[in-house]
Amino acid sequence: MKFFKNKYMLIPLFVSILSVFLIVISNVYYKNNNYVNYSKFQNDIASKKISKVYLTNSPNITVKLKNGTTYITDNPRNLIFKETLLNSGIEVSEQAPVYVIDVIPTITLALSVLTLIAVFIKSSKLTSKKVFAVDNLNADEVKDINVNFENVAGNEEAKENVKDVIDFLKSPEKYYSYGARMPKGIILYGEPGTGKTLLAKAVAGEANVPFYAMSGSDFVQVYVGVGASRIRQLFKKARLHGRAVIFIDEIDAIGKKRDGGKSGGSEERDQTLNALLTEMSGFNEKQGIVIIAATNRLDILDSALLRPGRFDRHIEVTLPDISARKKILTLHMKNKPINNIDLDDLARKTAYFSGAKLENLVNEAAILACKENSKYIENIHFEKAFSIVIAGHEKINRDYISINDKKITAYHEVGHSIVSLKLLPEEKISKVTIIPSTKGAGGYTLSVPQDKMYQNKDYIIKRIMVLLGGRAAEEIIFGKKNVTTGAYNDLKQSTNMITNMITKYGMGTSLGLLNIDELYEINYSVSNLVIEECKTTVENLYNKTKDLLLENRDLLEDFTNTLLENETMYDDDIKKLLQKQS
Ligand code: ADP
Ligand code: ZN
């Protein structure tokens, strides 16, 4: 048993054993040495030497003489024995005599046993407390986080998105006096190893507040209620300090969409989630506590988590593009004896590597150089490390997305961009990238639609053509036989827009101004007619889109090559490219 490891526990244990020993010894010793036979006792009665007899139910009686000595003799178990004694003027006590020599060990025995029990209860309470207490578990509180924005390379957009939160953490009163409500919760989402934890730490580091970190899986444990209790402990601890960043990694472990209570342990998860939501609504803006949660996927989270006042700011942390990879590599090469490295080449080769993997690459190269006792870490070490890191990773295909796949993605995305630039020049393309994100399979094009109360037919048609631009570019470059599944989402969206135009907005011919839902009410079937019209419409638009791209073939090639080189292009880069063209 564990508590005997505490050596002070041996003292009461030893005392109690000694006491028992003493009691036994004294009894045995006393009985053996003070026994007097019954006839002598009768003589003593006759000669009136006895002052008192202790008469109990035991086989022996104790006799006290007038001179103070005592002895034991047999109990005659005679009904008139007591009367005989009393008639002879002897005091009779029906209680056993009390000896000091017996009393002391009895008291020490009692005391030491009590001590043992008390300590045992206390120690068992301690261990059960440990299960619940965050302190003794994994909520690492880090006060001197020596991580700040300098340690996070790339991820510029994500950094930009948390700047105001840092300012808020520095002086929450200021924001409060303006009546500004800061987000209580931020969700960072993106692939593993992209630096979500790092960014959360950097927020705390920049704001110079304590950082509390736990993982969602720590909350979902064996016992129901433990998770909820841990959440409360975590917040209690953070609140003691006032301003703080609370980081919960793998929030999906507690915040997954509820699936109708099918899976086991969901009760525990719900309790934990509810505790989290309650705690979040429990503190006010003045306190300056921000909760940052991380997940690989935003779409699997329970919508209760994402509502305003909860985790209402969602920041994507993407895989680094080529320039970000260069920065991350440079950062991790700092303070290492690097010599003769072609950094540009390395950055180019590491497409689709996460920040964690780049860090791993540099580390492997350093280990190899060290093993060889090489003076510097050189290109050759990186070459070898590269194969190690690639091989050690399951998703080889993903990392080695062949040059061809990259090219397809690039042409596809540029196809969207060019159609958008030509047909909707007033809409800004904020970003084109071939780095996959949780939003789009291969890459994605982010354009900012203008706010309008109504969308007219012309605008809807142009947007449909932008959606078709990806597939059209693929077909132009690689031929009809080689088109890919990359257009899946585009086609879903364009189909939806076309059918709405024709069946709901009165912009087609087969139904005219009729609304399809109302027609179904009267059981009037129109589907074949409508499908025919949708098909010809989309075919016409697709051909128009291809023509548009063919007219701009030079731009298509130039744009694609630039994108392949840079992996990500922003508004400015696109403008520059267009100027060069004209
Ligand atoms: P995540 O939480 O997204 O899974 P981490 O923050 O744990 O990723 O990243 C693991 C490690 O990878 C970091 O400690 C850091 O060394 C490295 N890393 C990841 N992203 C970056 C980055 N943008 N800049 C510098 N290092 C990075
Ligand atoms: Zn597309």
Ramachandran sector of residue 225 (left: φ over 0; alpha: ψ -120 to 50; beta: rest)? left
Reply yes or no on whether 551 is catalytic: no
Q: In this structure, which residues have their CB less than 5 angstroms from ion ligand 2?
A: 470, 490
Sign of CA dihedral 204, 210, 215, 220: negative
Q: How far is the CA of 349 from the centre of ligand 2 (A)?
A: 25
**Predicted confidence (pLDDT) at residue 503 exceeds the cutoff of 80:** yes
Please determine, looking at this structure, whether the domain spanning 149-316 carries the CATH number 3.40.50.300: yes
Produce one character per residue of 44-71: b if its CB has 16 or more CB atoms within 10 Å, e if not.
bbeeeebebbbbeeeebbbbbeeeeeeb
Give the integer Cα–Cα distance in Å for 3 and 380: 57
Domain 322-391 has CATH 1.10.8.60: yes
Question: Which is the CATH superfamily of the domain at 403-581?
Answer: Peptidase M41 (1.20.58.760)
| Nearest protein CA to atom 14 of ligand 1, as residue | 198
390 alpha carbon to ligand 2 midpoint, in Å? 28
Report whether CATH 3.40.50.1980 matches the domain 2-101: no
Nearest CA to 194 out of 298, 323, 344, 294 is that of 294
Beta bridge partners of 142: 211
201 assigned to a ligand binding site = no
Q: In degrees, to the nearest 5, what angle opens at C-alpha 58 toward C-alphas 52 and 59?
A: 95
314 labeled part of a ligand binding site = no
- What phi, psi does 512 have (nearest 5°)? 60, -125
Give the pLDDT score at 542: 98
| Element holding 249 (H helix, E strand) | strand 244-249
Share of the chain above pLDDT 90, in %: 37
The residue ranges of every structural domain in the chain are 2-101, 149-316, 322-391, 403-581
Whose alpha carbon is nearest atom 27 of ligand 1?
A: 355
For ligand 1, the distance from its centroid to the CA atom of residue 547, given in whole angstroms, is 45
pLDDT at 265: 53
Residue-wise pLDDT for 532-557, tens only, equals 999 999 999 999 999 999 999 999 99
What would the pLDDT profile of 20-76 be if each residue is shown by its tens digit?
Answer: 777 777 777 776 777 888 888 788 888 888 888 887 777 788 888 888 778 888 888
- Position 423 scores a pLDDT of 95
pLDDT above 60 (res 18): yes
**Cβ(247)–Cβ(292) under 8 Å?**
yes
Amino acid symbol at 29: Y
* pLDDT tens track for 235-273: 888 888 788 899 999 998 888 876 654 555 567 778 888
CA distance 60 to 72: 6
